[in-house]
Structure 1
């Protein structure tokens, strides 16, 4: 069973690739939270025979997304003991200690990831002055690399290989995840400053349709 959270489509792409090759069920975390009126409800699932457990999410402020962490705290999986478990996180560049933070969240509900990778995908967050979108050449390169790395990791999922931790932490993982991540959670992540430029918006509705929150 694959639990995934996607904002702009990068992580959803990875989840669907995994489903295509493994046949595992995929669960959209945002959709589940909306269906049950938020993330406070206990989320219960039962695994098929020998089914692995996967968690896929983008990086928000060098941490797992808040909605994902809240969902995990209320997650209950029948027959999860001893199952192969893995993490895939997507990011525009580095992920810091996001996987370490998520491992602690998993430990709180009796799970532990056996393997984890990060996929560097086209940049989709420009919330601060030094953050910019990729040019077309960079986007193509990142997509090709992500496709290659994910394809290799899917083989590892099928073989249930443990001990694979191919994560792009960056130069200052602790500072980014703990210090800057704290600032992101408290003062940056949220929708209070969301605005639409009326001179550029064409009212297609795409942003509202794909937004997980």
Structure 2
């Protein structure tokens, strides 16, 4: 079972490759966290099959696990379909749990942030999962454009990153298939505690907001793509309508709406003017 969240597609690509390699179910987290999607109920427990691996695949936001993913892990319920002999449950080793995170550069203490979140979930603890047994980071093309000095990667660097990450992911898939424990292949970067604790806190408290997003109406063709791709349903609109951000505090500032706009009609304050766009193709 693989739980994943993806905005611009880097993580969805990695999660799909993992699902193909392990032959295990791929489950998108976002629908379970949307108030407007009654077809997904997080209150219902997920059933982990016998010998099934448990994976968490997500992008790094501000050197941390995205808020939406942390909230999902805290709230989710998961049980095992362990067989029973009479009234006695058969004892098995705890499930193999792992994570793969994608980032444009470094991840800081993202895995420690993840393990702290796992420790808050009683159903995971009941399965013997107190932390991930293996963790990996993949450096992917940059998509964060919310600060003056940050932009998408030049095309040549984007291609190099994709090629290298594909090779690394092939190895990761093999190790996860083999349930290789104790692997921590991570690009934490310099002074990881500072970026996760201090800079990450600034990201969450100040930079994660939909209030700076706006549409340039002279460029917008009212195609509705931005509303359709928003993973948290924070944009009202559709074909024939200008987009309107709902300000319901679920926005992750993942820039999925910005990157998918075919006419570059969406801006984030004045930070994104003349900047590039990227989503995984």
Normalised to the residue count of structure 2, the TM-score between the two structures is 0.71
Question: Within 1, Cα distance between the matches of 2:39 and 2:194?
Answer: 35
1:45 alignment partner in structure 2? 46
Question: Within 1, Cα distance between the matches of 2:106 and 2:169?
Answer: 17
1:97 alignment partner in structure 2? 109
1:22 alignment partner in structure 2? 22
Normalised to the residue count of structure 1, the TM-score between the two structures is 0.93
Q: Deviations over 1:32-89 (max 9, x none)?
A: 22234999x5352001120000001111111111111111111111029700000111
Offset of 1:163 from its aligned partner?
0.9
Larger helix percent:
1
2:69 matches 1:68: yes
Equivalent residues, number: 212
**Aligned ranges 1:109-124 → 2 under 5 Å:** 109=121, 110=125, 111=129, 112-124=131-143
Contact kept, 8 Å, 1:43 with 1:74, in 2: the verdict is: no
C-alpha distance 21-108 of structure 1, shift in aligned 2 (>3 A): same
Greater Rg over alpha carbons, structure: 2
C-alpha distance 37-25 of structure 1, shift in aligned 2 (>3 A): closer
> More displaced, 74-83 or 114-123?
74-83
1:32 alignment partner in structure 2? 32
TM-align CA RMSD = 1.8
Q: Deviations over 1:167-209 (max 9, x none)?
A: 1111121111100111111111121211123344344333322
Contact kept, 8 Å, 2:134 with 2:184, in 1: the verdict is: yes
Question: Within 1, Cα distance between the matches of 2:214 and 2:183?
Answer: 41
Structure 2 gaps of 5+ residues are 82-92, 233-281
